[in-house]
Structure 1
């Protein structure tokens, strides 16, 4: 049975003040995570390919950048983006965009390593076969190597997307009204139901991560069947 405090505040927890033009809650968490995941995936793919196909100097530079991003706590990078970007560019950048950028940068660093590992896991014979057919290195990568490597990368991508979804809860620190933020507001207003409220939030994140994991398994099975 759903506690009364959750029933009374369910709309606000799910989509915030959407009727007033200010989406929030679970809806904003999903939108924020999706935007950051897409950007992180694109950057990670580019980062991994650049390390493999670029010159040694480019590879070493990108490896150093990756090491720095992986060493920086997510919360610290959110603060840096939130406070430094307006100072550097003189723009009033919304907190939502800074959080998306911060999450995308950090998770792209991890995904870049997964992409590089997936590409190097494909046997060298596949490269030689592509070149023997008259393909260039980039054509070989596009048509032979990348389709095989993506199947290898998929579990790492799903794990990173789940991690990113959980990290999106840190957006509350700069006032973004995502799921955890609105739950805290409800808890501060009600004051006597913290167990019910935050247990509901935990269950919400568990369901979201579970659905994402199931979609990953389903995609892997379909991909494997299609490949065969």
Structure 2
């Protein structure tokens, strides 16, 4: 490590920060979209409407059986074909992440909803609430409270998985660091710095998830 050049990191910090912004933006939008779609899938599966419930279950099992990198490839090449025009690598991988993560969030949310006692659902129906109102005002608030640590953990996994966008050339944090490393021939400095940044954010997120789990379990 005697030849470790810190200046190459400092000189290219604006480019690396721009890449990190793309990573954070992609993570945030994918988490929000994945939770919304995952909640819808979970509610459909719990409602047990014969055909629709089967379609939702097939969706979840299908995406959970595929590697994420394959889904990224599919959406990157197929979305422009369906729309008839290019949509850019960012929106292609965003759609891929939302569709893929929704399958995992669906299972997390379904387990959280199932953890709420059935007596509370019956009580909601007894006071005149419809099924959607019972879910909105009684079940989902309690379910999400217990699911927050698990949802945060899945978000950390998603933050790590965003590094896979290098396969379509999207300039996220890792790709930006790789460009600098190849240009300046400073691979050790760049990839050590990337590993350090990923570790800091993921480790901090894991500690916060544990803190929430202890706090919410009381």
- Output the TM-score relative to the length of structure 2: 0.91
Hey, which bits of structure 1, 4+ residues long, moved more than 2 A?
210-222
Partner of 2:56: 62
Paired residue for 1:208? 201
**Could you tell me which residue of structure 2 aligns to residue 178 of structure 1?**
172
Distance in 1 (CA, whole Å) between partners of 2:20 and 2:80 is 28
How far apart are 1:43 and its partner, in Å? 0.8
Pairwise mapping of residues 57-206 of structure 1 onto structure 2 (< 5 A)?
57-191=51-185, 193-206=186-199
Say whether residues 1:11 and 2:10 are aligned partners.
Answer: no
Q: Distance in 1 between matches of 2:212 and 2:91?
A: 29
In structure 1, distance between residues paired with 2:211 and 2:32:
19
The answer for the alignment partner of 1:32 in structure 2 is: 26
Residue 18 (structure 1) aligns with: none
CA displacement, residues 60-80 of structure 1 (integer Å, 9 cap, x when unaligned): 211111111111111111111
Residues 29, 178 of structure 1: 8 Å contact kept = yes
Structure 2 portions without partners, runs of 5+ = none
Aligned pair 1:43/2:46, yes or no? no
Q: C-alpha displacement at 1:219, in angstroms? A: 5.5
CA RMSD of the aligned region, Å?
2.0
The gaps in structure 1 that reach 5 residues or longer are 16-24
Cα pair 2:153 2:209 within 8 Å, conserved: no
- Counting matched residue pairs gives 215
